[in-house]
Amino acid sequence: MLRLEPRPQASRAMIYLSPLLALLLTLGSGFVIFRLLGVDAGQALYAFFIQPLSDGYGVSELLVKAVPLVLIGVGLAVGFRANVWNIGAEGQLAMGAVFAGGLAIWVPEESGVWVLPAMLLLGMLGGMLWAAIPALLRTRYNANEILTSLMLSYVALLFLSYLVHGPWRDPEGFNFPESKLFAASATLPILLDGTRLHLGLPIAMAVVAGVWVMLARTLVGFQVRVVGASPRAAQFAGFRERAMIWFALLLAGALAGLAGMIEVAGPIGQLVPQVSPGYGFTAIIVAFVGRLHPAGVTAAGLLLALSYLGGENLQIEMGLPQAVTGVFQGMLLFYLLACDVMIHYRVRIGRPRVIEGARR
């Protein structure tokens, strides 16, 4: 029988150990799952975790996949700290892609340097607008933002699908549901020849640094922490809950929209029905595994980017379905939540000698 004994103070050691422990447990479970699927577990784990990083190109791909995850993850982390649960990042990403892509399709082939910055802004704007809806519904009508943002996510993806199947379909595209390829001036420049590593990387790094400073050193960051810990105390301090909800959702929306723009102007190069393999949802995991802290989110982003590469690799090398990626990601979050318990509690097994009494 499991029993939890509260610790007098949060264990600092466990704060850092817990993600590692969770990772180990995930690996162990992965081992078991592969055995059950009838494949060589060792080989599978190698193909999943090590092989993708075995060459320079692999590492660059890791970074390419990590950029959107970290961008969205950082935005979500700020929101989660303030108890604002934005689950619709996937939709905000899509809208960012739509806004930015709209400009990209429209501009003629040889346009000036203004195109990319404009696309950046439009991408952020698209995401912000889409996130503004759940913010409005929550602040004015009390509607739970988990459900509204999620429903809107489905709507946004359907909208994107409509656009690329219909009005924005490439007339010379052989009837495939995709827009025309973006002009060179509307595509993110590659940083390293031979890779797909693009300008999105330094942008993401700058964002992470900015959010870090904001959370740690500014009053706004303090507000985020207080609102999340105790809404009543935030009221006492005069921090307005509504302002916080707007801030958290708009920030996350902007970053998700930015990620959307980066994806379509970078690796993808055009608008397609599926602009993201679920980054908006995986970023939730990234935020938690990263302990809702920008530095942690960066590390977690890299880890989860690896899980995408691993899943693809498993499919190629061993014919396993892509769904393995989702299983690993879900398991990691699970184990993390379970291990996090040990930060605040000691786990004891067995019957209590003494019935727990009230704290005096």
Partner 1 sequence: MTAHDRTPCLELRQVVKAFPGCLANDRVDLRVMPGEIHALLGENGAGKSTLVKMIFGLLRPDAGQLRWQGEPVRIDSPARARTLGIGMVFQHFSLFEALTVQENIALGMGNPPPMAQLEQQIRAVEARYGLPLDPKRAVHSLSVGEKQRIEIVRCLLQNPRLLIMDEPTSVLTPQEAERLFVTLRQLRAEGCSILYISHKLDEVRQLCDAATILRGGRNVGRCKPADETAASMAALMVGEAVVPVSAHPALERGAVRLALCGISRRAVDALAVTLEQVDLAVHGGEIVGIAGVAGNGQSELLAVLCGEWRCRADAVLLNGSGVGHLGPHQRRQRGLCIVPEERLGHGSVAEMSLRDNALLSGYSRQPFLRRGFVRTAAVGDFARAVIERFDVRCSGFDAAAGSLSGGNLQKFIVGREVHQAPDVLVIAQPTWGVDAGAAALIHRALLALAAQGTAVLVLSQDLDELLLISHRIGAICGGRLSPLYPRQQLGVEEVGLLMTGTALETAGVLLPGDRAPEVAHAAP
Partner 2 sequence: MNETLLVLQAACLTIIGAATPLLFAALGELVTERAGVLNLGLEGMMLIGAVAAFAATVVSGNPYLGVLLGALAGALMALLHGIMVLTLLTNQVATGLAMTLFGVGLSALLGAGFVGVTVAPLPALPVPLLASLPLLGPLLFEHNLLVYLSLLLVVGLSLFICRTRAGLILRAVGESPSSAHALGYPVIRIRYLALLFGGAMAGVGGAYLSLVYTPMWSENMTAGRGWVALALVVFASWRPGRALLGAYMFGGVTILQLHGQGMGLSIPSQFLSMLPYLATVLVLVLISRDGVKLRENRPASLGLLFRPSS
In the complex, the residues that contact partner 1 under the rule CB under 8 A are 8-10, 217-220, 222, 225-226, 229-230, 232-233, 235-240, 354-355, 357-358, 360
Cα-based angle 205, 22, 84 (whole degrees, multiple of 5): 55
- 288 contact, one of partner 2, partner 1, none, CB 5-8 Å limit per kind: partner 2
Exactly one of 12, 141, 193, 194 binds partner 2 (CB under 8 A); which one?
Answer: 141
Q: Which does 139 bind (CB under 5 to 8 A by kind): partner 2, partner 1, none?
A: none
219 touches, from partner 1, partner 2, none (C-beta below 5 to 8 Å by class): partner 1
Q: Rounded to an integer, what distance in angstroms lies between the CA atom of residue 127 and that of residue 171? A: 27
Residue 45: name the closest of 55, 34, 37, 53 by CA. 34
- Count of CB atoms situated within 10 Å of the CB of 9: 7
List Cβ<8 Å contacts ≥24 apart for 23-30. Answer: 23/303, 23/332, 23/335, 25/331, 25/335, 25/339, 26/328, 26/331, 26/332, 26/335, 29/331, 29/335, 30/328, 30/331
Name residue, tokens 């195109």: 115
- Looking at the Cβ atoms of 57 and 334, the one nearer to partner 2 is 334
The rounded distance, in Å, linking the Cα atoms of 44 and 47 is 5
- The burial class, CB within 10 Å (0-12 / 13-18 / 19+), for 270 is buried
Spatial distance between the Cα atoms of 4 and 2, rounded to a whole number of angstroms = 7
CB 309 within 8 A of CB 65: yes
- By CB under 8 A, residue 143 contacts partner 2: yes
**Shortest Cβ distance from residue 213 to partner 2 (Å)?**
26
Q: How far apart are CA 225 and CA 185, in angstroms?
A: 41
Tell me which residues in 158-197 interact with partner 2 (CB under 8 A): 158-159, 161-162, 165-166
Judged by CB under 8 A, the residue of 144, 218, 235, 274 near partner 2 is: 144
Nearer to partner 1, 35 or 344 (CB): 344
Question: Using the rule CB under 8 A, is 31 a contact of partner 2?
Answer: no
For residue 251, the cross-strand partners are none
Report, in Å, the least distance between residue 203 CB and partner 1.
23
Closer to partner 1 by CB, 7 or 35: give it: 7
Identify the bridge partners of residue 5 per DSSP, sorted by sequence position: 346
Task: Return the one option of partner 1, partner 2, none that residue 147 interacts with (CB less than 5 to 8 A, by type).
Answer: partner 2
Q: How far is the CB of 235 from partner 1 (least distance, A)?
A: 5
* 328 interacts with partner 2 by CB under 8 A: yes
Span 86-105, contacts to partner 2 by CB under 8 A: 87
Residue 187: contacted member of partner 1, partner 2, none (CB under 5 to 8 Å, by partner type): none
Q: Which of 137, 214, 220, 302 binds partner 2 (CB under 8 A)?
A: 137
CA dist 237 and 223 (Å) reads 9
Q: How far is the CB of 360 from partner 1 (least distance, A)?
A: 6
Binding site for partner 2 (CB under 8 A): 2, 4, 6, 85, 87, 137, 141-144, 146-148, 150-152, 154-155, 158-159, 161-162, 165-166, 281, 284-285, 288, 321-331, 333-334, 337-338, 340-341, 345, 355-359
